Amino acid sequence: MSEINKQPASEDRRRFMGTAAAVAGLAIAPGVLLYEVAHSKSDDVGVSNQTRWGMLVDSTKCATGCNDCVTACSTENGWQMPEQSKHPRQAPQWIRKLELEDPLSQVKTSLPMMCQHCAEPPCVDVCPTGASFKRADGIVLVDRHICIGCRYCMMACPYKARSLVHEPLNDTQKQDVPRGIGCVESCTFCVQKVDRGDGTTACVEACTAAGHNALVFGDLNDAESEISKLLRTLPTKEVRADLNLNLGVRYHGI
């Protein structure tokens, strides 16, 4: 073995390797193959920017007083509802229901508010450690391994979407959703479900199950997805569109 190792690679072998590499290059060359690879995400390949996950909230269908999306999120992701917490004002909340009233016309609007999954997220801009990041498929997340709990991102977020875990969780976490004291967290678009290939989130499932159908989740980059078709027909708005953040969550009827 040692004798072989001492020999430099022979000319023949070099020539062979060169040809082999050229053949391999040819096989990949037709763009079709690469396109196919990018679109069918197999389990051990990372996410790609071919997909951009987004949500459409139809506030005309969102029922006043209904809290199903919030409870579903709490159950799926293992955070406690603020009412059950000893300190409700600082309890983590990934999604919350807002009831708005126009002071002039007294028109009432009901809508869920959560992380808007901006394409240009301010939370990522301000994070001093790089813990706050945007995944290739547009989901904005916190890498809790790197988060130091400084809460700059909470200050920077225009939507008050993030919260800090103040109390120890004592092994009550869900196995799919690790979370812990001293880290900032927010809506993840149920990233564990998305990666599993469910193609939906807990809040959307709950809203559909309750028969309201106010929430639609899907791929904004896929022109044939339900959400893209709806976005083409319904007039929608981004909250604080003046900030030019290119949000993943769009609202209809506000």
Partner 1 sequence: MRRNHMKLLMHHRDETVHEGVRTKKYSLKQCINCHASKETGSVTAAKDNFCVSCHSYAAVKIDCFDCHSSKPQSSAMMHPLSVEGAHLKHQMAAQAGVQVSVKDMAAMAEGVK
The site string for partner 1 over 107-146 (x = CB under 8 A, - otherwise) reads: --------------------------x-xxx---x-xxx-
Cβ distance to partner 1 smaller for residue 137 or 205? 137
Q: H or E element: which one contains 58?
A: strand 53-58
Residue nearer to partner 1 on the CB measure, 200 or 236: 200
Q: Which of 18, 88, 180, 199 binds partner 1 (CB under 8 A)?
A: 180
Instruction: Give the SS3 label for residue 195.
Output: helix
Q: What is the closest distance, in whole angstroms, from the C-beta atom of residue 66 to partner 1 in the complex?
A: 28
Contact between 191 and partner 1 (CB under 8 A)? Answer: yes
Indicate the burial class of 132 (C-beta count within 10 angstroms; 0-12, 13-18, 19 or more). Answer: buried
Of 240, 237, 241, nearest in space to 250 by CA: 237
Q: Which residue bears the tokens 């078709």?
A: 229
Contact set for partner 1, span 40-79 (CB under 8 A): 43-47
Nearby residues of 89 by Cβ (< 8 Å), 6 or more positions away: 82
Assess 179 for contact with partner 1 (CB under 8 A).
yes
The least CB distance from residue 40 to partner 1, in Å, is: 15
Residue 177 DSSP label: B
Do residues 158 and 135 lie in contact, with contact meaning Cβ atoms separated by under 8 Å?
no
Nearer to partner 1, 21 or 136 (CB): 136
Residues of the shown chain interacting with partner 1 in the complex, contacts defined by CB under 8 A:
43-47, 133, 135-137, 141, 143-145, 168-169, 171, 173-176, 178-181, 183, 191-192, 194-196
